[in-house]
Structure formats: C-alpha cells, structure tokens
Amino acid sequence: MSFKQCTSCAHQWQDQEEFLADPDVTLLGLQVCFDNLMEGLILFNHSCRTTFSVEVSRFGNLYQGPVYSERLTAGEECPGYCLNERELKPCPAKCACAFVREILQVIKAYPKKKRR
C-alpha cells in the first residue's frame, strides 16, 4: 500500500519520506478539524496542477513536543491562524491546535530532492 496517490494524475508515493522530499509537491494549507485535530487535512499542490489533502494523522510522527489540552481558538492568545487555511505560520499560543502548526513547519522545512 502506498503512502499517497495523486487524485488527478495517479502518481504514487510509496512512503512519507518520498512524498515530503518530492520537489513536485508543495505545501498549500490546512483545513482544521476542531473536533479531532488528527482528522484535519493538510493541503498540497502537485505539479500536475491539482490540489489534494492528507490527514494530519499521517504526519503525527513528525512532532515530538508538547501537546496542550486546552483549545484557545478565538481567545486573547489566539492569532487566528487556524481559521485561515492558507496560513502556515507556527502558533505562539499554548493551544491544543499548536502541535498541528508545528507539523506544518516540519513539512515546510523538509529537504526536497533535486529535480532530474
């Protein structure tokens, strides 16, 4: 079973490393699922000109830091990043959602293979 298949061109990535290192895949955004953060969708663009999603849970291994229990969405400490699906900044708040934003940072910084 492959890690992900493009919904348009059917290109397959065999594992997470191959997917993240592919220069034809770019991080686009995040659709948060506030009821279950691991069910949120991380959005990617593929060079075939399609956008597809991968569940946050598929990248849970990329983050080893603290996970806060309280969600601070729309509170004083909340910068509102999770409400804008194209915003990729890390969250400074000690919020339950912050770990997902840290996963985005790892994905953004993941080294890409050189194009052939």
The pTM of the full predicted model, rounded to 2 decimals, is 0.94
Structure confidence at residue 1 (pLDDT):
83
pLDDT, one tens digit per residue, over 44-66 is 999 999 999 999 999 999 999 99
Cβ-defined contacts of 85-94 (< 8 Å, 24+): 85/29, 85/30, 85/31, 85/32, 85/43, 86/28, 86/29, 87/29, 87/30, 88/27, 88/29, 88/30, 94/68, 94/70
Region 15-34: mean pLDDT is 98
